[in-house]
Amino acid sequence: MSGSYMLDDVTKFKGWGEKPITDLTCRRFGRLIVMWFIGRRQFDCGAYETMWQCACDCGNILFVGRNNLNKATKSCGCLNSEISQKSNFKHGQSRRITGLTTEYRSYSHAKARCENITDAKYLDYGARGIEFRFKSFSGFFDCVGKKPTPQHSIDRINNNGHYEAGNVKWSTPKEQVNNRRLKRIENFSNEEIQKECVRRGWTINATV
């Protein structure tokens, strides 16, 4: 790379050919803002490329070629690092050497209860209109955090509400029982009783 020149000086520098240099100063490319022109570099084929000093939104300073500013380079590398960290977090939580993490199992089971009609508990959740409103595991995990103990399980604060932010937490078995949906048998219709018996595999005896 040649020495550093101000743009006005470089445009007059002999050997650049007839093609004028486009001033990129203060232009934004992704997270990068061009500060000033620093020189040129020559490729093996004999072609030249202008080089620019850029400031990244994260605070890093770097030199970038004109061609890369138009193509792949959108940051100092921090953008790819953030994307990688998010991806590693998701896969790290969803998979260990021994299998799925307990938090991810709770996430996937709750989702299945609401959305998978073949799930054994669908009638108590999805069929009742209970919705699973988390768009991703990371959103679910940000809301509830790590499971406090192996005895805790995911619970809805309002048992008639949805799985959504503000209505889910980790609960002990005792807390789950206290929050269980209760309904006196005389308040069930005959149809509801029959459906529940069929679901549980109980024999229905006719009475006179």
The full DSSP string for 89-124 is HHHHHH-BTTB--HHHHHHHHHHHHHH-TTSTTGGG
**Long-range contacts of 4-9, Cβ-Cβ distance < 8 Å, separation of 24 or more:** 4/38, 4/39, 5/37, 5/38, 5/39, 6/36, 6/37, 7/36, 7/37
- Residue 163 is predicted with a pLDDT of 95
Neighbour count for residue 172 (Cβ, 10 Å) = 14
For residue 119, pLDDT beyond 80: yes
Residue 154 has which token pair?
Answer: 């995911």
Distance CA 38, CA 63 (A): 8
**Every domain of the chain and the residues it spans:** 7-78, 94-180
Work out the burial of residue 47: count CB atoms within 10 Å of its CB; fewer than 13 is exposed, 13-18 middle, 19 or more buried: exposed
pLDDT band at 155 (very low <50, low <70, confident <90, very high): very high
Q: Residues of the chain with pLDDT > 70: what percent?
A: 65
pLDDT tens track for 60-110: 888 888 888 866 667 777 777 666 666 655 555 555 433 457 888 899 899
Distance CA 10, CA 4 (A): 9
For residue 144, pLDDT beyond 80: yes
From residue 25, alpha-carbon distances to 29, 39, 61, 160, 191 in Å are 11, 13, 14, 58, 74
Residue 80 has which token pair?
Answer: 């790819």
Residue 24 has which token pair?
Answer: 């990129």
pLDDT tens track for 158-177: 888 899 999 999 999 888 87
